[in-house]
Amino acid sequence: MVRLGFDLVWEADDMRMLIRAAPTLSLAGVGAAAIFAVSLAGVKLAYCLLHSCDFATARARPVPKDGFKGKVVWITGASSGIGKELAKQFAAKGARLILSSRRREALLAVRSDIVAASRGTVQDEDIKVVTLDLEHVDSMRDCTRAAIASFGKVNILVNNGGVSQRCLARESMLQLDKRITMTDFTSHIALARALLPHMHDQGAGNAQIINISSLAGKCGIGLRSGYCAAKAAVLGWMDALRAEEAALGTGVKILNVCPGSVSTQISNNALMGDGSKFGVTDPNIATGLPVEYCCERVLAAAYAELEESWIARPQELFPFYLYQYFPFWMRRTMLKNSRATIERTLGKKISMATLVLPTALPITQMSSRPASPNPTTQTPSTRPITPQTAERGGESLRHLSWIRERHIASRGSASTLY
């Protein structure tokens, strides 16, 4: 009995000590968990920088030799750069190809190169050519029908075609922004819309859309205002489409690829404010990632059915990671370095005195339309009020009053509405 009482007293004392120490132990546990999380994040970031891509893309396994066998891949912008290299690597993995761009001769040369390098495994009939101008959106449905007719199906659409920009926003004409938007964004969604019904007919898991966007779509970069806007629009639209396809259960996979600087001719072909070509390889592109490595990771990400992939040099990848987690601080840093970055790209000093502004802004032309003698085509502000328009206006006002009354009835007050 004495021993039992002693044990109970001892256990009670231990319990009181544990209760007193609980806050300290909890803080120590939280601290240890935080240290572990930070260490793990540091290891993952180092792994990403070592492989020049995000963690999921870095871990994606290389595509097997016949990884895309039986698939039909339609690639836009396939005459050069990333599109040309993607065509080579998809063909090497067993896919049949549909190559598209404006330059038919260049596409035929790409097909010949692929067939010659395959040593008999790829034949001319395995690669079809469909000419396509991304600025002519109205022709997308006809081009889509021609692409489907090539092999009877299209499993993977690669929206790669596009054009970049190298000029200050205030030096750019509105037509240039429209051209970049049409080529880099509108054409992408037009092709996706035209091809989606066919992809739905193929069944779940047999269709994929790969969009070659850019890290510039994640963060605005000087000299690329229209380009950044178009690439950001691609990411937003395709993210929304992915959510809708998942909700409908169609099985259409969507991969958004965000490369950094890749060693291609994109800078030479970039447009200046007046629509002419930049004609120079800027330092970032000259020291960019090899296009072969970039495309190898794109294929690995597509094969792993990832949703987004970042592929860039460590000196570009690291700031963009910081931008995701510390946007305010990184924005201030980028603004401080913006002049040096722009001048290094242009190869000259910039100032207000050196700006070359457009001689005729299209927006001025659009706002100075001649007045029409027909009253029905006048602007809304000067259009005469007819009994029909007055009746429609009265209906709108009555509908607004009904909405206001319903709101007041539900909230009990009109002060929160206006």
DSSP assignment string, 63-88 = PPTTTTTT-EEEEESTTSHHHHHHHH
**What pLDDT, on a 0 to 100 scale, did the predictor assign at position 27?**
74
Residue 134 near residue 181 (C-beta atoms within 8 A):
no
- The set of residues, in sequence order, having a beta carbon less than 8 Å from that of 233 and lying 6+ positions away, is 181, 185, 217
- The set of residues, in sequence order, having a beta carbon less than 8 Å from that of 190 and lying 6+ positions away, is 137, 140
> Tokens 């009939």 belong to which residue?
125
Size of the chain in residues = 418
* 303 assigned to active site: no
**What pLDDT, on a 0 to 100 scale, did the predictor assign at position 214?**
97
Tokens of 348: 């000259």
Ramachandran quadrant class, 120 (left: phi over 0; alpha: psi -120 to 50; beta: rest): left
Residue 122 near residue 114 (C-beta atoms within 8 A):
yes
Residue 47 near residue 73 (C-beta atoms within 8 A):
no
For the CA atoms of 5, 7, 9, 14, what is the dihedral angle to 10 degrees? -170
**What pLDDT, on a 0 to 100 scale, did the predictor assign at position 241?**
97
Neighbours of 382 (CB within 10 A): 8
Residue 99 near residue 111 (C-beta atoms within 8 A):
yes
pLDDT in tens, the chain (418 residues): 444 444 444 455 655 665 666 666 577 777 788 888 888 888 888 999 999 999 999 999 999 999 999 999 999 999 999 999 999 999 999 999 999 999 999 999 999 999 999 988 999 999 999 999 999 999 999 999 999 999 999 999 999 999 999 999 998 899 999 999 999 999 999 999 999 999 998 876 789 999 999 999 999 999 999 999 999 999 999 999 999 999 999 999 999 999 999 999 999 999 999 899 999 999 999 999 999 999 999 999 999 999 999 999 999 999 999 998 899 888 898 889 899 989 888 888 887 766 666 654 443 343 333 443 443 334 444 444 454 544 544 554 454 455 455 545 555 544 333 3
Tokens of 386: 């007819």
**What pLDDT, on a 0 to 100 scale, did the predictor assign at position 194?**
96
Cα 116 to its chain centre, rounded Å, is 34
**What pLDDT, on a 0 to 100 scale, did the predictor assign at position 222?**
93
Catalytic residue among 227, 303, 321, 325: 227
Cα 92 to its chain centre, rounded Å, is 26
Could you give the strand order of the β-sheet that contains 308-311, starting from the edge strand earlier in sequence? 127-129, 96-100, 72-76, 156-159, 208-212, 253-259, 308-311
**What pLDDT, on a 0 to 100 scale, did the predictor assign at position 17?**
62
Tokens of 385: 């009020």
Work out the burial of residue 274: count CB atoms within 10 Å of its CB; fewer than 13 is exposed, 13-18 middle, 19 or more buried: middle
CATH architecture of structural domain 57-354 = 3-Layer(aba) Sandwich (3.40)
DSSP symbol at 169: G
Cα separation of 52 and 311, whole Å?
6
Cα separation of 64 and 299, whole Å?
10
**Nearest to residue 73, comparing CAs of 133, 140, 160?**
160
User: Per residue in 115-143, is it b (16+ CB within 10 Å) or e — as a string?
Assistant: beeeeeebeeebbbbbebebeeeebbeeb
